[in-house]
């Protein structure tokens, strides 16, 4: 019994669907519905549905009533059917509204089947483009992935370190003779003279790896504080360290100028 | 180098379906490394020429029995694999796309597609059942959207299909739907029927004069 | 259906270079919808047959002057565009890289890069917030991947960066990250886990006990 219920619910989406089914089953022309026959079959189905699904949808009941009404109109003697002598007899066919509705519904049902075919087709084809890597849809505001460099990564990691109060540990690691704050002073002095300094010049004469790293961290710190920014006039070209003018530094969320190209080293874009 | 080959390369390497306009733009600005007579010639390619080249590629693929084809979706071109390879290619992808639509959803969608902009009441008029749940699904999946309000009492919402709809069904545009002319207006399909008095009204259920059924 | 065509379709749709072994595996288990004589025949294809089919495809592509070719990289096959189209295709590539990473995503990526392999709980411990959405983005973009499971109660997944990550940042290996040795030793105040005790391990994938809460 329960199987039957599922079947009925799935098979007939509504009264129109049931009617179309009956028309097809009886192999009759939709434009010449044998209203008596169809109505009685419809009512049988409706009773069956009521047995299985007690709260059968109201639309099915309404359609049942409509069919009964049409049937009763059809039973009237022909001269009483035509109320308006001006009208074409066929226009007054009491079935007309229903036929029009059914024809329309049938067309859309076919259109839905066509859509279903297309859906199945789309499901079985794979585009070279559906990488789903998320590159096409910008997610949130943030640095463009293409513009990111390892320095951005390092910088991001540094921010995390700062937040997790690990800065003290960080300082402890490096040898005492090189401190980030010393190197900050060094870089500030260097860039005070020239507005633009080449990146490699910062490390001139540095033999110790630790010293290079500490200098580098100092540079990142200055970039973060918006005292400096990095620029690259061409891809793979020399990276320049540029002193940020004070008015520029004061402006919040100041980002890179037009000099950097996508893919080149860019300054931090953190707030 | 033929334009056809270049367009194949572009479609092959593209990350998303490309409209003609974008292909044209790509042809118009090659990297300076490609600054030769050939690149200059392609710089001025017209959309019509690109379109023709795509057509020629389509013919090639069919003739050579390639494993892929060119599809136009929402006005943009991309390469897709032939459907018969799906049993194997499925494995390359962890999950399928958003899932199939139910028949009621497809019917409702068909009505909206052909009759947009259309009110919920008019959809229900065609289907003969309430469509609340189904409409909810379609709206959530972004296949239909509210396009405005009808200038009738109560100012009900009007619904239409979206770009996602075109993408979901692999349609280039709404006119690609079969029998679109016929289905947009209700009674053209009836034999000997008179044309609707208001050809400009896309919404069918109003102003629909009862017309003659088949002369018997 | 020819084996050659099927392999073309697989290479066409694949998201990464495929070794012969993987192509063989794909042929061996088609979806049940493709359960026919053809699929059964391909199920038993040998690597040598696949290899031959690839060779035949290569010949086809050369003869037909296709815009792409088959390249073998580290024993894996993929389709790549012909180099002469680079002046145009570069534009598509730039576009592809224009997707944006949010700052939380960038930070999470940095943590994973410097501390891999790392569990989600540890990442969240450092960042102080849940990272579900962000991890999803990074996984989807192929920048991070699951590298294993931590040998701790619950055996949580371990995450690490991918080859794409290295390619994207132009690194040949993870040790090329700036200040990697120093930063790997920095104590992140993780709520549960202690700092890694092995400063001598520059390679991230082996012997990285950062995720093991020893005697907490």
Which residues lie closer than 8 Å to A29 by C-beta, 6 or more apart? none
Tell me the C-alpha distance between B137 and C2, whole Å: 41
Closest in A142, A165, A170 to C103, CB measured: A142
User: Which of A258 and A33 is assigned the larger pLDDT?
Assistant: A33
Closest in C32, C81, C91 to B26, CB measured: C91
Query: In the predicted model, is pLDDT for residue C214 greater than 50?
Result: no
Q: What is the ipTM of this complex?
A: 0.61
Closest in A166, A216, A217 to C187, CB measured: A166
Mean pLDDT of the C20-35 span: 83
Q: Which of A128-137, B63-72, C75-84 has the highest mean pLDDT?
A: B63-72
Res. B54 pLDDT band, cuts 50 70 90: very high
Domains of chain C: 3-89 (1.10.10.10), 100-194 (1.10.10.10)
Res. A206 pLDDT band, cuts 50 70 90: low
Tell me the C-alpha distance between B79 and A32, whole Å: 48
Q: Tens digits of per-residue pLDDT, C134-175?
A: 887 788 788 899 898 888 888 888 999 988 888 777 777 888
Structure confidence at residue A244 (pLDDT): 78
Query: In the predicted model, is pLDDT for residue C128 greater than 80?
Result: no
> What does the mean pLDDT of chain B come to?
80
Greatest alpha-carbon span in chain A: 115
Domains of chain A: 2-124 (no CATH), 145-246 (1.10.10.580)
Tell me the C-alpha distance between A83 and B84, whole Å: 60
User: Which of A9 and C198 is assigned the larger pLDDT?
Assistant: A9
Segment (H or E) for C149: strand C144-149
Res. B196 pLDDT band, cuts 50 70 90: very low
> What does the mean pLDDT of chain C come to?
77
Q: Which positions in chain C touch A170 (Cβ < 8 Å)?
A: 182-183, 186
- Inform me whether the C-beta atom of residue B9 falls under 8 Å from chain A C-beta atoms: no
Structure confidence at residue C187 (pLDDT): 66
Lowest mean pLDDT among A70-74, A147-151, A199-203, B46-50: A147-151
Proportion of chain A above pLDDT 70, given as a percent: 55
Tell me the C-alpha distance between C28 and C42, whole Å: 7
Query: In the predicted model, is pLDDT for residue B205 greater than 50?
Result: no
Say if the Cβ atoms of B126 and A31 lie within 8 Å: no
Structure confidence at residue A161 (pLDDT): 64
Q: Which positions in chain A touch B15 (Cβ < 8 Å)?
A: 129, 131, 135-136
Query: In the predicted model, is pLDDT for residue B150 greater than 70?
Result: yes
Task: Please name the chains neighbouring B, where neighbouring means 3+ C-beta pairs under 8 angstroms.
Answer: A, C
Chain B nearest-CA residue for C140: B94
Query: In the predicted model, is pLDDT for residue A179 greater than 80?
Result: no
Structure confidence at residue B70 (pLDDT): 95
Mean pLDDT of the B17-34 span: 85
Say if the Cβ atoms of B15 and A119 lie within 8 Å: no
Structure confidence at residue A74 (pLDDT): 82
Which residues lie closer than 8 Å to C153 by C-beta, 6 or more apart? none
Query: In the predicted model, is pLDDT for residue B119 greater than 60?
Result: yes
Selected for mutation to probe chain C from A147, A148, A152, A160 (highest C CB count within 10 Å) is A160
User: Are A63 and A98 spatial neighbours (Cβ–Cβ below 8 Å)?
Assistant: no
Structure confidence at residue A177 (pLDDT): 62
Task: Count other Cβ atoms within 10 Å, centred on residue C108.
Answer: 28
Mean pLDDT of the C63-71 span: 89
Res. C196 pLDDT band, cuts 50 70 90: very low
Query: How many Cα neighbours within 13 Å face the side chain of B171?
Result: 23
Rounded (5°) CA angle A181-A184-A187: 155
Tell me the C-alpha distance between B90 and A126, whole Å: 9
Res. A237 pLDDT band, cuts 50 70 90: low
Query: In the predicted model, is pLDDT for residue A271 greater than 60?
Result: no
Structure confidence at residue B200 (pLDDT): 37
User: Which of A154 and C83 is assigned the larger pLDDT?
Assistant: C83
Segment (H or E) for B181: helix B180-184
Task: Count other Cβ atoms within 10 Å, centred on residue A232.
Answer: 20
User: Which of A202 and B100 is assigned the larger pLDDT?
Assistant: B100
Mean pLDDT of the C191-205 span: 40
Query: In the predicted model, is pLDDT for residue C190 greater than 60?
Result: no
Say if the Cβ atoms of B107 and A13 lie within 8 Å: yes
Query: In the predicted model, is pLDDT for residue A71 greater than 70?
Result: yes
Mean pLDDT of the B90-114 span: 82
Q: Tens digits of per-residue pLDDT, B27-37?
A: 988 877 656 77
- Inform me whether the C-beta atom of residue C215 falls under 8 Å from chain A C-beta atoms: no
Portion 56-75 of B in contact with A at CB < 8 A: 68, 71
Q: Which of A85-89, A200-204, C3-7, C94-98 has the highest mean pLDDT?
A: C3-7
Selected for mutation to probe chain A from B10, B90, B103, B108 (highest A CB count within 10 Å) is B103
Lowest mean pLDDT among B62-66, B72-76, B77-81, B203-207: B203-207
Say if the Cβ atoms of C178 and A154 lie within 8 Å: yes
Query: In the predicted model, is pLDDT for residue C212 greater than 50?
Result: no
Selected for mutation to probe chain C from A138, A156, A159 (highest C CB count within 10 Å) is A156
Segment (H or E) for B8: helix B3-13
Structure confidence at residue C20 (pLDDT): 92
Proportion of chain A above pLDDT 90, given as a percent: 5
Say if the Cβ atoms of C81 and B15 lie within 8 Å: no
Closest in B10, B88, B92 to C15, CB measured: B92
Say if the Cβ atoms of B183 and A127 lie within 8 Å: no
Say if the Cβ atoms of B15 and A115 lie within 8 Å: no
Say if the Cβ atoms of B12 and C92 lie within 8 Å: no
Query: How far is CA A225 from each of CA A211, A267, A268, rounded to the nearest angstrom?
Result: 21, 11, 10
Structure confidence at residue A45 (pLDDT): 84
Selected for mutation to probe chain A from C14, C94, C178 (highest A CB count within 10 Å) is C178
Structure confidence at residue A207 (pLDDT): 57
Q: Tens digits of per-residue pLDDT, A12-62?
A: 778 898 899 889 888 899 888 899 999 999 998 888 777 766 677 788 888
Query: In the predicted model, is pLDDT for residue B67 greater than 90?
Result: yes
Q: Which positions in chain A touch C186 (Cβ < 8 Å)?
A: 161, 166, 169-170, 173
- Full-model pTM: 0.56
């Amino acid at each position: 019994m329960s199987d039957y219920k599922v079947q009925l619910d799935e098979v007939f989406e509504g009264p129109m669907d049931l009617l179309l089914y009956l028309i097809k089953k009886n192999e009759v022309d939709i434009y010449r519905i044998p209203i008596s026959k169809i109505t009685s079959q419809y009512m049988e189905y409706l009773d069956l549905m009521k047995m299985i699904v007690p709260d059968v949808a109201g639309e099915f009941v309404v359609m049942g009533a409509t069919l009964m009404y049409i049937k009763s109109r059809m039973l009237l003697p022909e001269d009483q059917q035509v109320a308006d002598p001006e009208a074409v007899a066929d226009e007054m066919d009491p079935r007309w509204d229903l036929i029009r509705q059914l024809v329309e519904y049938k067309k859309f049902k076919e259109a839905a089947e066509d859509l279903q075919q297309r859906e199945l087709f789309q499901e079985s084809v794979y585009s070279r483009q559906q990488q789903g890597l998320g590159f096409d849809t910008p997610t949130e505001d943030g640095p463009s992935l293409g513009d990111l460099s390892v320095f951005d990564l390092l910088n991001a990691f540094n921010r995390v370190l700062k937040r997790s109060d690990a800065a003290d540990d960080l300082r402890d690691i490096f040898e005492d003779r090189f401190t980030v704050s010393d190197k900050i002073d060094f870089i500030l002095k260097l860039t005070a003279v020239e507005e633009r300094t080449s990146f490699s010049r910062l490390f001139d004469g540095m033999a110790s790896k630790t010293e290079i790293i500490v200098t580098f961290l100092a540079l990142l710190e200055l970039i973060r504080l918006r005292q400096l920014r990095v620029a690259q006039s061409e891809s793979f070209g020399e990276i320049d360290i540029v002193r940020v003018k004070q008015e520029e530094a004061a402006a919040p969320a100041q980002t890179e100028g037009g000099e950097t190209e996508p893919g080149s080293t860019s300054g931090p874009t953190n707030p | 180098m033929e334009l056809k080959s270049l367009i194949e390369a572009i479609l092959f390497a593209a990350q998303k379906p490309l409209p003609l306009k974008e292909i044209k733009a790509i042809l118009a600005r090659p990297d300076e490394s490609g600054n030769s007579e050939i690149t200059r010639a392609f710089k001025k390619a017209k959309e019509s020429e690109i379109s023709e080249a795509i057509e020629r590629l389509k013919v090639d693929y069919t003739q050579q029995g390639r494993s892929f084809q060119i599809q136009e979706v929402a006005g943009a071109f991309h390469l897709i694999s032939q459907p018969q390879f799906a049993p194997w290619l499925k494995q390359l992808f962890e999950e399928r796309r958003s899932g199939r639509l139910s028949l009621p959803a497809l019917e409702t969608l068909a009505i909206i597609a052909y009759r947009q902009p259309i009110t919920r009441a008019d959809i229900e008029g065609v289907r003969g059942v309430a469509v609340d749940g189904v409409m909810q699904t379609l709206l959530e999946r972004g296949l239909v959207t509210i396009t405005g309000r009808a200038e009738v009492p109560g100012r009900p919402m009007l619904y239409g299909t979206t770009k996602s709809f075109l993408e979901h069904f692999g349609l280039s545009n709404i006119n690609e739907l079969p029998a679109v002319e016929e289905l947009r207006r209700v009674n053209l399909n009836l034999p000997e029927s008179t044309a609707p008095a208001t050809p400009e009204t896309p919404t069918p259920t109003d102003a629909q004069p009862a017309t003659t059924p088949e002369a018997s």
